[in-house]
Amino acid sequence: MDIHDLKTPALLVDAAALDANIDTMATTRPGDRLRPHVKAFKSTEMARHIAERGNHHSFCCATLREMEGLAAAGLGRDLLLANETLDSPRLALLAARPDSRITVAVDSPETIDVAVSSGAEVLIDVDVGLPRCGCDPGDAEALGAEARSRGLSVRGVMGYEGHVVGNPDRDERAVGVEESMTLLRAAQHSVGGITSAGGTGTFDMHPLTDEVQAGSYLLMDTEYDRLGLPFRQALTLLATVISVSRKGWAIADCGLKSLGMDHGEPAIPGYEVFFCSDEHTTLLPSQESGLGLPRVGDRIRVIPAHVDPTVAYHERLNLVAGDDVIDSWAVDLRGW
Rg for the chain, CA atoms, rounded: 21
Per-residue pLDDT tens for 79-92? Answer: 999 999 999 999 99
pLDDT at residue 212, rounded to an integer: 98
pLDDT at residue 238, rounded to an integer: 98
**Mean of all residue pLDDT scores within the chain:** 97
> Residue range 250-270: average pLDDT?
96
Q: What letter does residue 2 receive in the DSSP assignment?
A: B
Q: Is the pLDDT of residue 151 over 90?
A: yes
> Residue range 24-53: average pLDDT?
98
Per-residue pLDDT tens for 154-204? Answer: 999 999 999 999 999 999 999 999 999 999 999 999 999 999 999 999 999
Q: Is the pLDDT of residue 289 over 90?
A: no
> Residue range 292-304: average pLDDT?
96
In DSSP notation, 229-253 reads: -S----EEEEEEEEEE-TTS-EEES
pLDDT at residue 288, rounded to an integer: 84
pLDDT-derived band of residue 290, with 50, 70 and 90 as boundaries?
confident
In DSSP notation, 78-125 reads: EEEE-S----HHHHHHHHT-TT--EEEEE-SHHHHHHHHHHT-EEEEE
Q: Is the pLDDT of residue 291 over 90?
A: no
Per-residue pLDDT tens for 40-70? Answer: 999 999 999 999 999 999 999 999 999 999 9
Entry field: residues in the chain: 336
At CA 254, angle to CA 252 and CA 259, rounded to 5? 140
> Residue range 202-212: average pLDDT?
97
Per-residue pLDDT tens for 107-148? Answer: 999 999 999 999 999 999 999 999 999 999 999 999 999 999
**Domains of the chain (ranges plus CATH)?**
3-10+232-330 (2.40.37.20), 15-219 (3.20.20.10)
* Dist CA 212 CA 37 (whole Å): 9
- Does the global pTM surpass 0.85? yes
